[in-house]
Amino acid sequence: MFKEFLFKLDIIGPLSVLLFTLILALNKRRISSFSNRILIAFVLAQLILNAIAAYLQSERINNLGVYHLNCLISLVIFSWYFMKVIRQKKIVSLGLIIFFILDFILLLTGHPFKMFPSYQYALSSFILVLYGLLLLNTIIEQIPTFSILSLKEFWITTGVLTYFGSSFLVFISYHYFSEVLPRNVYILWQVHNVFLALGCLFFLKAITSKQWIVE
């Protein structure tokens, strides 16, 4: 039962955020800011794509293309957010260019459709962690430390660093373990799901926090 729960965390986590956000909306809480729309778009994409991937797997249909799409959508969504809120906008543009060039090269080799796109996920995670660290540095430099825990931007950054930073180690090692320990590689995905659920908790906190950057 616990193993099954871990496998479903990549659906339970995003679904919980969406349900709580719906409750806030029904109680006429303001959730229409740009930052909140970014977070809702991300968790909605995770819910839909992870549910599709799980269904295809249950039907023994190749679902690797779904994971590749998930990787691309996650990178684009958060790059859009960081493009607006950090000062080093050229770094965001450069990160996207590097990712798509390398991703195109991997696509030409058929990599995403022959195996889990772990290298794409690892590169995407590294880029988003870099963006998150840049924003965190800006927050620390410009506001008193005691105010950080009340800021939406801080909790978004914390969610990004928690999920993508931790999952980077999962993604970068996934291909290796799938060859060395193919029967136990599922444990890596369970660990990934735990990090995603933790990230969703921080994103939920962000949705209920106040803005620092005026949108």
- Please state whether the predicted TM-score (pTM) of the whole model is above 0.95: no
User: pLDDT tens digits for 61-96?
Assistant: 988 889 999 999 999 999 999 999 988 889 999 999
Please report how the helices 118-142 and 152-160 are oriented relative to each other, as an axis angle in degrees rounded to 10: 150
User: pLDDT tens digits for 100-158?
Assistant: 998 888 777 766 566 777 889 999 999 999 999 999 988 888 776 657 888 899 999 99
> Which one-letter amino acid corresponds to residue 151?
L
Rounded CA-CA distance 121/74 in Å is 10
Rounded CA-CA distance 85/211 in Å is 11
Burial of 2 (0-12, 13-18, 19+ CB in 10 A): exposed
User: pLDDT tens digits for 20-64?
Assistant: 999 988 886 777 789 999 999 999 999 999 999 999 999 999 888
Q: E-assigned strands of 58-170?
A: none
Rounded CA-CA distance 175/129 in Å is 21
- Domain boundaries in the chain? 2-207
